[in-house]
Structure 1
């Protein structure tokens, strides 16, 4: 997600209907074992807009990151209680909470208590919301040598995972910021070092474009540990910037990644993260255009991509895909 060397920008306004997608496209069911969801604050800052975007898509699964600009762990008890009530009243399920633990704003030299404290709060709140999944990263460096950076990351992630075990949570490490963010061998090293089912991977299809690696190749190496997916797509412009586009319309190998997940028997939630309104990693929060409409356009294009390209690609594989 974060690009240390290049500025990022997203498309302005609402994406136009892609060529070949007829007007009045109706929702299509996801593949068996897959659920579609979305990171709510990508559509709107407030819960009303976030739920409205899901309702328009006909989806019932929400990934929570911020509400009215505040992280879930920072809400007071009254605000959180009302939030949980409204989500339940809407018939919506929370499938994952995106924390700030070990993320791009928390280097490995920072206070560890900040992360353990946030995890304690989220353990209580995830129990109320009915989800076990908490998104984390693996600590950016802050001037340490490679060996010391790795040592501290392994130590902290082991302690956080043991804390998650004690509270029934599963930490999902995203291929984003931190020591194990962009290299498959480090992801596998971290998983093997911690050695717990309470630490698994969250795979974001779009992060390879800003970070400069092939998403499909990285996924192939770590697919057996992927428990949750973010779907976004991006292109690098001639000016060296990153622009975010509809799923399947960029350079992030989204079709190949989703095909691999099904071929390897990975099931779970595919959650859209359009990056048209909000990009927390670079501080972008624009109110240009209609965030809900852009969010819905991305959801519809994911449905179309899966129905028309991913599922036929899986069906064409020997034995219709199966486990790799």
Structure 2
């Protein structure tokens, strides 16, 4: 019966600093949802790539004690604040640091983007991006991690054709795609249309929803916006996606706007997580037959 359908809790996670700046608050929010996994971007207002060894050790020990799995590290490599002109040595250094953290956390995924332009011609921008991500992917292969390119900032951020070209020209098993359900709204494209073209290459998913307003993008609970979140999730599951759905609601935390979790951020994060679970159980799974939910 439809009422008995439940999405596996072990496949639900959230980006911790969406709920709280402090690490204890992040753990508490994940626990409040009765989830068992987290994606890490920053703890105690420090990006993972900048954590000193003692701080990282405390994070790793706490997660082990709580039996919370880390499903990915959301890096700054190639992101909205790292244009193509940023020194490449800085990118390689961050990758090395995060790969060491992945080894300690038994995690293999590192989120990247594909470098906003900084005055280059379209052809030079594309060439430089492809060169850099090929080099990063070779290093990732050596380090035993997998890079996940997100449909967000950069040369391949908004175009399925460019994402597929990126994968084809880099040609590395250490490069896959991360699909974010809500990024199409602020960036002006239909995310579900893009998803159809890249489905076989999606290895990780972020969940958010949003609407466009005269003042800009406003983020909503999953299912309340214009991102067609339920449709995207149905497409993924029907295609056999068996990975994690990682909540990134942007209700209180938006790094690209220098907005960190404050006030009732944890409450909003928990509410978004509860809504995601309901959306899956009542608007996604019942409309699928025999989908690969991994139960």
TM range (shorter): over 0.9
Give the count of matched residue pairs. 290
How far apart are the structure 2 equivalents of 1:98 and 1:208? 19
**Structure 1 contact 314–321 (Cα < 8 Å) conserved:** no
Partner of 2:150: 174
Partner of 1:243: 218
How far apart are the structure 2 equivalents of 1:72 and 1:33? 25
Of 47, 60, 75 in structure 2, the residue corresponding to residue 84 of structure 1 is: 60
C-alpha RMSD of matched pairs (Å): 1.6
How far apart are residue 285 of structure 1 and its match?
A: 2.3
Where 2:70 maps in the other structure, the secondary structure is strand
Alignment of 1:57-68 (within 5 A): 57-68=33-44
Where 2:206 maps in the other structure, the secondary structure is strand
How far apart are the structure 1 equivalents of 2:246 and 2:272? 11
Of 224, 227, 230 in structure 1, the residue corresponding to residue 203 of structure 2 is: 227
How far apart are the structure 2 equivalents of 1:277 and 1:261? 27
Alignment of 1:1-324 (within 5 A): 31=7, 35-237=11-213, 239-285=214-260, 287-288=262-263, 290-315=264-289
| Cα deviation 1:269-321 (Å, max 9, x = unaligned) | 00111112210012122523x11111110010001001101012213xxx668
How far apart are the structure 2 equivalents of 1:198 and 1:33? 27
How far apart are residue 123 of structure 1 and its match?
A: 1.0
Q: 1:154 to 1:30 in 2, by over 3 A?
A: farther
Runs of 4+ in 1 over 4 A off after TM superposition: 319-322
How far apart are the structure 2 equivalents of 1:240 and 1:221? 31
Higher RCO, Cα 8 Å, sep 6+:
1
Q: 1:81 to 1:310 in 2, by over 3 A?
A: same
How far apart are the structure 1 equivalents of 2:233 and 2:270? 19
How far apart are residue 31 of structure 1 and its match?
A: 3.3
Which of the pair is proportionally richer in helix?
Answer: 2
| Cα deviation 1:7-58 (Å, max 9, x = unaligned) | xxxxxxxxxxxxxxxxxxxxx9853697000000000011110010011110
Where 1:200 maps in the other structure, the secondary structure is strand
| Cα deviation 1:198-247 (Å, max 9, x = unaligned) | 1001100000000111111000000100000000000011x141110000
Where 1:268 maps in the other structure, the secondary structure is coil
Q: 1:320 to 1:141 in 2, by over 3 A?
A: closer
How far apart are the structure 2 equivalents of 1:218 and 1:312? 24
Where 2:244 maps in the other structure, the secondary structure is strand
How far apart are the structure 1 equivalents of 2:103 and 2:292? 36
How far apart are residue 83 of structure 1 and its match?
A: 1.1
Unpaired segments ≥5 residues, structure 1: 1-27
